[in-house]
Each structure stands twice: as structure tokens, then as C-alpha cells.
Amino acid sequence: MMKRVKWLIVSLFLLLSQCVVAQEQDTEQRKKTRINILHYDIASYSKSMGDVQRLIGHVKMRHDSAYFFCDSAYYYQKNNSFDAYQNVHIIVNDSVEIFSDLLNYDGDSRFAEFHDNVHLRDDSTNLYTEYLTYDRNLHLACYPDSATTIRGDKTLKSHFGYYRDRLKEFSFFENVEVYSPKYQMYTDTLFYNTGIEKMWFEGPTTIINKENILEGKHGYYLVKEDHVYLDRRPYMHNETQQIWSDSIFYDRNIGLAQAYSQVDMIDTSYKVIMRGDYVEMWENEGLSFATDSAYAISYDGGDSLYIHGDTLFMYFDKQEEEAKKLIAHCHVRFFKSDLQGKCDTLTYLMADSTIRMRVAPILWSEDSQLTGTDIDIKLRDHKVDWVLQQGNAFIISQDSIEGYNQIKGQDITSTFKEGNIHRVNVDGNKAETIYWIRDDEGGIIGIDVSNSETMVIEMEKQSVSIIKSFKSINETMYPEEDLKENERYLSGFKWHDEARPKDKDDIFRSVEAEMPKAEVTPTETPKEQTTEVAEEAEVKKEQPKRHRERKKVE
């Protein structure tokens, strides 16, 4: 019952829409003309049957510009109509022909009904069904119950539909299916103009091809170009990758998908989400690109990593269809509960969970700030395993009360334990430290300034436990009041706390002034203040046990 109601509603709508077309009909189409009998082998007439003339054998008739052929027919002269049987064939115009086993035709209304084994042909398009009506005035063919249409390598099926031969346009409704060697399409409503080779679809639509599956509720398909456009929040996916957006354009020839506005691209193999207002996916090159408020999320586990950059690139294995690496360019900032950072270029290698920071990198972990020419981070189980700072490496942590603890060297390798720095190796022929030494109650003991060729620093509860210095050791312990302000900083000291992302939304903040505190260049250590003098002063003060140990190795 519902199908019949839908058929009637659609029919009424289509009939009303043809008013404009009807107004454009020529004079010959609007006036009533008689059906002409052109040929038959045998004829008989029966007045008792109501002025019916029976025509048998090679019957040929003409009505206006249309020609009719059949094996036999009953011609109703008074009603200007006929019924045709077997091998029915009508030539509508130069391109449109219709075949069937039975035809009922009314010459006054120019309306035809075809029954059984119906075949409509228009150039290279063929429609097959069991019942078809054709209105010559409107140039409109309709089928109410299932049809199959074949054009080239495409097969289209639907429950009911229409064909307007003047417009070269099909309208398919309910359970529409499209099959071709390249793809399959399933939708509720499809319009197909064979003149311009373009399809429009309405309602829930699924397009399946070898590379991926596209789902949407509205859009079009350009047949010759092999281009698809979907909007109203479409969805594109394969075994490991998924894309949601407000709209998607897909060029199957070059394997390019372009997604617009509120785009979410997910790689389920390594659990990475890439977001932006514009995303491109190049299937053949194994590359995805995102920009315009772009950011990525590594979401495996409870603590997600958020990465923002002006431009994001994700490279994936074309065979395995899984992500290999993520590259962020320009104004890169990232946030994780135990790790934050900024740089100009960041590379995240998914396979071995390694992050590479390049061009003015800054890394923050708990109370520590790490800088260098290059910084590499190794993650294990989504927590920091180790950090390598190469070139002008600097670690700064703010003292619990005042001042800054500092470690400086050419290269620094830091291993982490439970999210905190556990051990620091300083290499490169010159290792330097400045540390505020406190007792167990937090009282100041002094400020330790030292340098050597290399150092190993062990941390406990985010505080220095042991420092091992190797070769060319020079160390001085200063009472706090004896070390001037500008002597409390190593050369190149910069504190970038203002630039640190505070949460996952803060990664989008543009940081202009990275250093609220001006760079401090220390003066030379006072020569009169020797290690021995400092240690003697320490003993005289009878201070409590120091909170760390130092080992010197010559």
C-alpha cells in the first residue's frame, strides 16, 4: 500500500512538472490526428465486436511521426486506438524505440501501455521491464514495478522510475542499484542524464569501489570523469582509514579525495586522528594532507597526544593501508598530560613511536624545559621513554622556591621513569650545571656551579640525587647571597614558560613573545671564590646533610 501511495505521489509531482514541457509542444503534437494503417497481410472486420478491424501479418501503422510494427493488431477506428500483439515495435523518433509482446495505444491521448518483455532503447541505453507506459506528448516513459537499465558497462536497477527522452534523463526510485566494473552504488533516489553523463543521488547512498567505500545522503557522480561529490556529512573509509566531513570530492582516476569543513580522518591501525577544515588524501602516493585549523590526535590509551601545525602530512603504506608517519609544519605545538612542546617541524614515526622535533624545538616535561638544535623523543606505551637533545642542549627546571636549575651541553640524553626525568647524560666536551641545593626541609644550602667534559645526573623524586662529573672538573658551591643575579644563569639561558601549551585547546594559541624574561649572559665566576673556600664556608655554617651526593671522576 505504501509503495502504491509513493508511486502516486511521485507520478503527480512529475506530471505537474511537465506543464512547462507541455506548453512547448508543437502544433502537430497538440491536435488530434488519425492512426494510419500502412500494411498488413490479412484483414477482417467485425461490427459485432464494435467496429473492430483485425490486422494479421507484418502489420505496420503510423501515427504522426511514430511508426508501429507487430504480428497482429485490433484497430478501433471509432476510438482511434489499437491493441498490438507479438513482436511489437514502435519507432518513437530517430533514437528511441520500444519493443514488447503487447501494446495498448490511444491515438487521441498519444498514450501507450507496453506489457511483457518490454525493451526501451535510446541510442546505447537499454531499459528492460515487464510493464511500461509512454506518453508521447510529454516524451515520458514510466515503469511502476522494477526495471533494469543497461548503458555501456553500467547496469542500473530500481523499483520504479521514469525516462524523459527529450532530456535524456532517467529518474530511479526505491532500492536503486548501480553496477559497473569500477564501482557499485546503492541509493534511494538517482537521476541520470545520459546526455552529459552525470548522476545525482538523494537519500542514503553507498558507493563501493576497490579502494574504498563512500557513504552520503546527497551528491553527484560524473561518469566519464569518474568524479564523485558528496555532501551533508559524508563518510569515506577502507579497512584502516576513515574520513568524515561536511563534503567530499573524490577523483578515482588519480586516487584523490578532498574533504571540506570539520574533517575527521582516522587511521585505526595506529589510532591516529587527523583533523582540519581541509584535507586531501592521495591514495596512489600514500599521502594525506590537512590544513586550516589542522591538528592530529594519537588516541591509543587513556592519555592522548594532540599535535597542531599550519600543515599536517600523514604518510601511509599503500599495501597495508596503515599510517607510517605524521609530519607537522610551521607553528607546531603539541600537548600531552606529561609532555608539551613547540617547534617548526615535527615528525611522528608511528611504527617505532618516535617524535622528531626540528627548528627551534622546546620540550616541557613536568617542571623541566628542554631545548636544543634537534630533539628526538621515544615513547613506550604512550609514555616518554627517553629524550635526545642534539646541539646546544639545555635543560632548565624552576627551583621549588626561587631560581632555576640548569644543565647544559652539546648533547643531552635523558631517560624517563613514570613520566619524570630519571637519568641525564651530558656529552660534547663541555657539560655545565647550576643547581640550587636544599636540605630535607627545603632550606637553601647554596648554589652549585660546575662544569666538566661530561656528566651523568641521576634524579629522584624530580630532584637531583647524584651528579657524576668526568674530566676537567671545575666546581664551586656559592652561598646564595654571594652569587650575583646575572651569575645564576648559564650562557644562552631562556625561559619559555609563556609559550608552553596549557591544555589540548591551547595548542592553537599563537605565541609571539616566547621569552618574557630577557636572555641572561653571566659574568665570569669570581676567581677569589675557590672550591675550597666555599666548602669551608659550608662547614662553618654547620648546615644539615646535603640533599644530594657528587662524585668526581678524573
pLDDT in tens, 70-92: 999 999 988 999 999 999 999 99
DSSP line for 411-472: EEEEEEETTEEEEEEEESS-EEEEEEEE-TTS-EEEEEEEEESEEEEEEETTEEEEEEEESS
DSSP line for 189-254: EEEEETTTTEEEEEEEEEEEESS-EEEEEEEEEETTTTEEEEESS-EEE-SSEEEE-SEEEEETTT
- Contact of 129 with 147, CB cutoff 8 Å: yes
- pLDDT, position 535: 40
pLDDT of residue 1 exceeding 80? no
- pLDDT, position 32: 83
Q: What value does the mean pLDDT of the chain take?
A: 85
- 382 or 356, higher pLDDT: 356
pLDDT in tens, 363-416: 998 888 999 999 999 988 888 899 999 999 999 988 777 789 999 999 999 998
What number of residues does the chain have?
A: 554
pTM as predicted: 0.75
- Contact of 524 with 474, CB cutoff 8 Å: no
- Going along 471-527, which residue ranges are E strands? 474-478
Q: Which residues of 230-245 are buried (b: 16+ CB within 10 A; e: fewer)?
A: bbebbbbeeebbbbbb
